[in-house]
Structure 1
Amino acid sequence: MLNNTPKSRFAGILLVLGILLIAANLRATFTGIAPVLEQIINHFGLSASQAGFLTTLPLIAFAVVSPMAATLAKKQGLERTLFVALLFILAGVAARVINTSAMLFVGTAIIGVGIAIANVLLPSLIKRDFPAKVALMTSAYVLTMGVVSGGFSTLVFPLSQLNGLGWQLALGSSALITLASIIVWMSQLSKHTKPASIDQHTDTSKSVWRYLLAWQITLLLGLNSFLNYIIITWLPSILTETGHSATQAGAYHGAFQIATALPGLILIPLLAKLKDQSALSFILAMLSALSALGLLYMPSFAFVWTLMLGFCSGACFILGLSFISLRTDDSQQAASLSGMSQSVGYLLAAIGPMLAGALHTTTGSWSAPLWLCAIAGVLCALCGLGSGKNTTLAKSAN
């Protein structure tokens, strides 16, 4: 570990627990909307375009805020900036409980700001504090993110029906996770450390936007997010249109998100053994494309395709996050590449659900949106061939 080695085993446990709790907030707080989206539409009388905008608001916030996160961390320190991110998430969750459509949108946007900051800075924190365990820690926090979001998506619809609780309090229950995260992370605030300084002998002063490898990693994450968020947003609608009940669709939606986390259990030993991950990235992304077409042409096996889509897109996400650390030369460059990849990536992710919804409205079918997912999967596979090579940004430029 660099800069702030824990003085005791307990301090180290608190740091890891804090990272995992922050990760628990990074999906559940906004993906939980999908299973109760019909209730929200009926409650406020939202149009289809307004509902689509609601689901993409966090992604737009990710794209706008991500490039600013590294700069904020340089000024305030990683620990304090991550604490601010948690406060944003808590404020957004609380705002959505207020019974107005305006606060629903405002709260969702605020949640997006908090998640964007934490999304960018966690890979940098891991590279700085766990340089020898990047794959392990990345897989652990992605596993946590997927399991919590999947569990929440599975429970949110039944919870909204429990004793007339309603969708607002059901969604608001995610605040319990955020509060626990804030309490645990407070132990890190005294450190106030910044990303590791740049080695003067490395070529990290060059903007990451000028590296081909950086663009390959960015598009790997971006195209995977494009596909992933189309499925996260519209899977319940796709399934109910093919005859599944709302409860079953919600359960499949939860299973999809849990499946995105499972690759971490397999990739931990694989990443430790594989110096070149090109073939692995290519195969996983191609399987994502195949699974999207499976939903279209073999809907009777929807559960299988859902699990495969979740597993493969989750694996590509873990690989992309690992590449941010593995392909950079120091933690500051990792923060910059993380900001770049998540800004561009989430811009693509924001476009995906809206474009898929528009295609469905125009054609009256989910064929075009699912073909769009398949094409994104193929392009993601091609980017994986380049980003999976065993090199770094500085070496790749020579």
Structure 2
Amino acid sequence: MTVPNTSAAHTETGRQAPGSSRIPEEPRAAYGRPAVWLAVSVILLALNLRPALVAVSPLLDTIRSTTGMSATTAGLLTTLPLLCFGLLAPLAPQIGSRWGMEPTLAATMALVCAGTALRMLDAMAGLLAGTVLIGAGIAVANVLLPGVIKRDFPSRIGLMTSLYSMSMFGGAALAAGVTVPVEHAADLAWRPTLALWGLPAILALIVWMPQVLRHTRTRATGARGATPPVRGLWRHQVAWMVTLYMGLQSLAYYAATAWLPSVLTDAGTHEGVAGWMLSFSSLLGIVGAFLTPILANRHVHPGVLASSGAVLCVLGFVGLLVSPTAWIYLWMVLLGLGQGAAISLAMLFIVLRAPDARHAAQLSSMAQCFGYVLAALGPLTLGGVHQLTGGWTIPLLLLAVLVLPQIVFGLGAARERHASPEQRS
């Protein structure tokens, strides 16, 4: 079955279908050279949604040794951004509606740049405040970008979701893999090394500016229609299917990412090898994130893909439990492909289950609010269970069990229905 690239409220040319209640939005579907430039801009924005935060992890030991930071404070550097993602997600659609998606997305990159600069300050407050600014900027961009894809690429949803997910996953893998080598090669301290991740955000901001100018001209001509908020979404069954799928895959991904190196080192793996395994898994995640939406658009039911991704993750976690070192590359392949597929499907479900860009932004807000708050609890809970049990058997079993409901919610989110309060579920 082919996943539809348009909704009932869209024709391929972006015109409103007869009887649709969709609010007109600007701009319509992008074509030709402007579409290519817009696609590149979206990819660059997506590329900046993780590196400034992920780059902290490989430098964390150095940061703690030079600042005397406690383990609790160090944990805030990981937890604060996830809390920003969840708590600010409900505000993003209102901000985007009031100021326009293009200016708001430009502002998100400005916040990332400001946050990376603020972390250059010697005071600990600068490091934490900069992390919050970066998290706030990324939180809003997380929510609005799926709406841009829905609005401007109605006939290329699968491809653009693939590129978007791949860029987001790839940015995280890049930051995890090259931050320390760049630090050593350039002989930099950790503060300027972190600040370097503001440069891609500056590039994205520059490339995105033509969209801001186009938005300004469109508003000046009075062509922008009113975009009232979507009401009743939090009581809609389809919206909750998408949200719960997003939440469970986020919890599993962030909990596993936070503790995977520790699982491997406690099993006897060298620290360097354990770090490489995390990067290797992320590289496979890029493949899974890119291919999954394309397969969903080519006669592979997204419910089958959601189920397959969950099964791959379960096999990876069980494999780490049974034999963490003998077949380590196999487990990383399974986890990488499964997690990459789940992340891209979560983004794809947001776009496909929304009848228009306005609903896409609201559904993205709901899914990410719940998903990232849940994800923030994942690493903490897994660490607590490990501390209570003194090993990784129960934590890994817990992760495997928590992945299984993704199949149910993935199948529910894959049904061709819209998360629209005007439609019965």
Match of 2:337 in 1: 311
Larger Rg: 2
Give me the whole-angstrom Cα distance separating, in 2, the residues matched to 1:278 and 1:116: 27
Once the two structures are overlaid, the 10-residue window that deviates more, 235-244 or 16-25, is: 235-244
- Structure 1 Cα separation of the partners of residues 410 and 376 of structure 2: 21
Alignment of 1:112-127 (within 5 A): 112-127=135-150
Equivalent positions of 1:350-365 (< 5 A) are 350-365=376-391
Identify the residue that residue 218 of structure 1 maps to in structure 2: 243
43 and 237 in structure 1: CA distance in 2 versus 1, 3 angstrom threshold: farther
| Structure 1 unmatched ranges of 5 or more | none
Percent identity (aligned): 34
Following superposition, the deviation at residue 312 of structure 1 comes to: 0.8
1:71 is displaced (CA, Å) by 0.5
Structure 2 equivalent of residue 155 of structure 1: 178
The answer (yes or no) to whether the contact 2:315–2:334 under 8 Å persists in 1 is no
Could you report, residue by residue, the CA deviation over 1:170-223 in whole angstroms, capped at 9, with x for unpaired residues? 2222112111111111111112269986899xxx95421111111111010111
Check conservation: 1:261, 1:314, Cα contact below 8 A. Answer: yes
The aligned residue for residue 228 of structure 1 is: 253
**Post-superposition offset of 1:166:** 2.9
Equivalent residue, structure 2, for 1:280: 305
Relative distance call for 1:266 and 1:351 in structure 2 (3 A) is same
Partner of 2:262: 237
Q: Residue 87 of structure 2 contacts residue 369 of structure 2 at CA under 8 Å; is this kept in 1? A: yes
Give runs of ≥4 in structure 1 deviating > 4 Å. Answer: 5-8, 193-200
Q: Which amino acid aligns with 1:247?
A: G
**Residues 1:328 and 2:376 aligned together:** no
Is it true that 1:187 corresponds to 2:218 in the alignment?
Answer: no
Q: Distance in 1 between matches of 2:31 and 2:240?
A: 40
Aligned mate of 2:277, from 243, 252, 258: 252
Q: Does 1:77 align with 2:100?
A: yes
Q: TM-score, normalised by structure 2?
A: 0.86
Mapped partners of 1:285, 1:102: distance in 2 = 40
Deviation at 1:331, TM superposition (A): 1.2
Q: Which moved more, 1:268-277 or 1:299-308?
A: 268-277
Cα distance change of structure 1 residues 199 and 32 upon mapping to structure 2, 3 Å threshold: closer
Is the deviation greater in 291-300 or in 105-114?
A: 291-300
CA distance in structure 1 between the partners assigned to 2:135 and 2:66 by the alignment: 23
1:263 aligns with 2:288: yes
User: Which amino acid counterpart does residue 238 of structure 1 have in structure 2?
Assistant: V
The question of whether the paired residues in 2 share the 8 Å contact of 1:230 and 1:356 is answered with yes
Shift of 1:378: 0.9
Q: Which amino acid aligns with 2:371?
A: G
CA distance in 2, matches of 1:313, 1:102: 34
2:161 corresponding residue in structure 1:
138
Give the secondary structure class of the aligned counterpart of 2:213.
coil
Question: How far does residue 369 in structure 1 lie from its aligned partner after superposition?
Answer: 2.6
Alpha-carbon displacement from aligned partner over 1:16-71 (angstroms, at most 9, x marks no partner): 11100000111111122222222222222233332222211100000111111100
Which one has the bigger helix percentage? 1
- The CA deviation at 1:258 is 2.3
Is 1:391 matched with 2:414?
A: no
CA contact (8 A) 2:30 2:153 kept: no
Output the amino acid matched with 1:292: F
Report if the CA contact (8 A) 2:115-2:133 is conserved.
yes
Alpha-carbon contact 1:92-1:108 (below 8 Å) kept = yes
Range 385-394 or range 162-171, more displaced: 162-171
Aligned residue pair count: 395
One-letter identity of the residue aligned with 1:52: G
C-alpha displacement at 1:160, in angstroms? 3.0
- Segment of structure 1 superposing worse, 216-225 or 373-382: 373-382
**Corresponding letter in the other structure for 1:41:** R
**1:327-348 superposed Cα distances (whole Å, 9 cap, x missing partner):** 1222111110000000000001
Answering whether residue 115 of structure 2 is matched by residue 92 of structure 1, we say: yes
